[in-house]
Structure 1
Amino acid sequence: MNTVISKHDQSLKPAIATESIWARRSMLIGKPNGAINFRLNLAGLRLAFILALACLLLGMMALKLGALSFSNAEVFAALKGEGSSRAMIVINQWRLPRVFMAIVIGAALGMSGAIFQSLVRNPLGSPDVIGFGTGAHTGALITIILLNGGYLEIATGAIIGGLLTALLVYLLAWRQGIHGFRLIIVGIAVSAMLAAFNTWLSITGSLEAAMSVALWAAGSLNGMSWAKGLPAAAFCLSCMLLALLLGRRMQLLEMGDDSASALGVPAERTRLQLMALGVALIAAATAATGPIAFIALVAPQIVKRIGSNNAASLYLSALMGALLLLLADVAAQHLFFPQQFPVGIITVSIGGVYLIWLLLCEAKRI
């Protein structure tokens, strides 16, 4: 019996062949038909190795440089616990927590941006733009000014504020489903109102609270310690792991809700799970360091522009975010030495230029 192949079927052959080649050049994490699985592309793994190596080298440079400079040998000795007492205190207790948290917070911001840009299917779909970061900022400000809370209370307030803002934006943007552009417009409006409320909170609080808020709102890694950083790092790493396990579902959602549902993915529930994880990441990062803008917007876009596939975007965006924040922090500390700036000022300065360029590019497509 002869098999007749239509022109449509013939047109699918290159795509099927490409998919099979891609599958042979990748590694599957999880069960093929399981609810939680994702595939690591070998090209993505090579890029991940390069980014991780860049983070390691930049981190070593950050440990060496400063008012007290150390050699590579002194840094390695201090990390092993064999250096001088001065070197061990400066490197292990002062600089290493800062480098470690820059990597973790940058990774959390980068992955959060990748999640929302994927769900919204728009490069402007960043938590910075949509307003979820502003909501986390609002929750932290309420805790600082009205409740006079400590670090754990501020972290809790930031997470609650971010989640409530996400829920509000989601409900206002819902019209028989979520459309990416509508979500962005609603998010910008909510963000503007929250920014005005944040300003009102800052000027109506006590002078001491206002000064504390001003320092925190600049977004800085100054004064980072293990006691302050480890709880936030553990929370961020847990959320990032859960997001990675949902990476395959996120990729299927990009094909559309109908296609994802046909493949067994509960579209709305998965979207809400990913949104909750993305908001938790941006809120935890905001609570730990203050609002650091534009890393979540820029990191996923750089990953896409250097040729990454969507399946690899989450962990590559995390590594890119870690590298960008670490680079910005090193620049904030040493580029204008002896004067130091909060890292948030550096990211806003660079990110603002990038946002203007991105808006111009999007305008040309309309």
Structure 2
Amino acid sequence: MIDHVPSAPPASRTYGPRSRLARTRAVTVALAVAAFALFILTMMVGSFYVPAWDVITSAFHLRDEPSVDFVVRDLRLPTATAAVAVGVALGVSGLLFQKLLGNPLASPDFVGISAGASMFAVTAIVLFGAGSTMISASALAGALTSAFIIYVLAWRDGISGYRFILIGIAVSQFMMSIIGYIVARAELYEARQAMTWLVGTVGQAGSTELRTLLGALLVLVPAALVLQRPLRVLELGDDTAKALGARVEISRLALIAVSIVLIGFATAVAGPIMFVALIAGPIAQRIVGHSGGGIVAAGLVGSIIVLGADLVAHHVVPVALPTGVITGIIGAPYLIWLLATVNREGRGG
């Protein structure tokens, strides 16, 4: 009689971590290719069409051709670069917030960070007639100030996700009411300028603000990757994290700081472009897998959303619109679906 020989374990079970790593890398590369394609497409289309190769050679200084260089480098490259940078900042910031607070509704859009930036920026526009640099600096200061207020109010021997979110929503509504009062008492021109900024659109900041955002990304995105391991420990809960030797509050404060500074710089450059931070992280987690980390993927998804929304806002709809209008149209149905799903699953608090 021939003895039964047990079959070998499935390959996916034997090489699970390796398979997940390969999937993460493949998805990240695919997202990077998609973002790069949209980046080039953004500089191709317009009143003056530029072929893709001419865009690449001009944008990367591979060849000099004055007529093409003026259109690509001077007119379109700053807007396309701002869309990529803002999208990366929003995507990474949103994912950090959601994973840190353990709630899919945790987004800087709703917990007062963007509202604080908006209140300070509108104040600078209406009361001081500020230029783009002053507006951007005011927005960054507002984001940091509102975050500090929320953190202090939410602190009770630690930070609870739901308490942070609820206090953030309350602070956001308070600041939005102040914005409404300031705009209502403003002159017509100042009110229109403030409302345009409040909707959010890429390409409205100057080169100094854009370079500052790019510099911040070069520092903060690697910092977020370094903090990814403490973040995974914090997701297990404070008690478990402390048992594993994690410095819970220091790690949480560092993660919150990275996320807030990212959203502050992004808002300073483009205004409060809504819903990108909310939807980029979950999309990245869905296609990468929850065990894959997803910080880089979230940033790339954010850039794809902003680039795509800006293309639609300027070249698809009959009348040119701010980028934030398109992201709002995309994000509002997702928020409704998310609220219904969270409520059914009993995670609504």
Judge same fold: TM > 0.5, yes or no. yes
Amino acid at match of 1:73: W
TM-superposed CA distance for 1:144, in Å, is 2.4
SS in 2 for 1:118: helix
Shift in CA distance, 121/51, structure 1 to aligned 2, threshold 3 Å: same
Amino acid at match of 1:356: I
TM-superposed CA distance for 1:297, in Å, is 0.1
Aligned equivalents of 1:91 and 1:151: distance in 2?
A: 22
TM-superposed CA distance for 1:221, in Å, is 1.7
Shift in CA distance, 23/263, structure 1 to aligned 2, threshold 3 Å: farther
TM-superposed CA distance for 1:81, in Å, is 5.1
Shift in CA distance, 251/311, structure 1 to aligned 2, threshold 3 Å: farther
Paired residue for 2:119? 138
Within 5 Å, which residues of 2 pair with 1:1-366?
Answer: 21=15, 41-79=21-59, 80=61, 82-223=63-204, 226-337=207-318, 339-366=319-346
Aligned equivalents of 2:206 and 2:120: distance in 1?
A: 23
TM-superposed CA distance for 1:150, in Å, is 3.1
Contact 2:43 2:77 survives alignment (8 Å): yes
TM-score relative to the length of structure 1? 0.85
Moved over 6 A (4+): none
Contact 1:236 1:284 survives alignment (8 Å): no
Aligned equivalents of 1:291 and 1:227: distance in 2?
A: 19
Q: Quote the sequence identity (%).
A: 33
Q: Deviations over 1:263-297 (max 9, x none)?
A: 33211011111111111111111111111000000
Shift in CA distance, 217/315, structure 1 to aligned 2, threshold 3 Å: same
Aligned equivalents of 2:205 and 2:130: distance in 1?
A: 18
Amino acid at match of 1:252: V
| Structure 2, unaligned runs of 5 or more | 1-8
Aligned equivalents of 2:68 and 2:218: distance in 1?
A: 29
TM-superposed CA distance for 1:349, in Å, is 1.1
Aligned equivalents of 2:220 and 2:18: distance in 1?
A: 29
SS in 2 for 1:56: helix
Amino acid at match of 2:96: I
Aligned equivalents of 1:83 and 1:236: distance in 2?
A: 29
Worse-matched range after superposition: 285-294 or 197-206: 197-206
Amino acid at match of 2:273: I
For these two proteins, the number of residue pairs brought into alignment is: 335
Shift in CA distance, 239/146, structure 1 to aligned 2, threshold 3 Å: farther
TM-superposed CA distance for 1:305, in Å, is 2.1
Shift in CA distance, 72/24, structure 1 to aligned 2, threshold 3 Å: closer
Shift in CA distance, 227/156, structure 1 to aligned 2, threshold 3 Å: closer
Contact 2:136 2:209 survives alignment (8 Å): no
Aligned equivalents of 1:178 and 1:147: distance in 2?
A: 36
Aligned equivalents of 1:310 and 1:149: distance in 2?
A: 45
Shift in CA distance, 291/223, structure 1 to aligned 2, threshold 3 Å: closer
Aligned equivalents of 1:357 and 1:24: distance in 2?
A: 34
Contact 1:169 1:190 survives alignment (8 Å): yes
Aligned equivalents of 2:314 and 2:69: distance in 1?
A: 20
Amino acid at match of 1:248: R
TM-superposed CA distance for 1:99, in Å, is 1.1
Worse-matched range after superposition: 133-142 or 68-77: 68-77
Paired residue for 1:37? none
Aligned equivalents of 1:211 and 1:310: distance in 2?
A: 45
Contact 1:247 1:311 survives alignment (8 Å): no
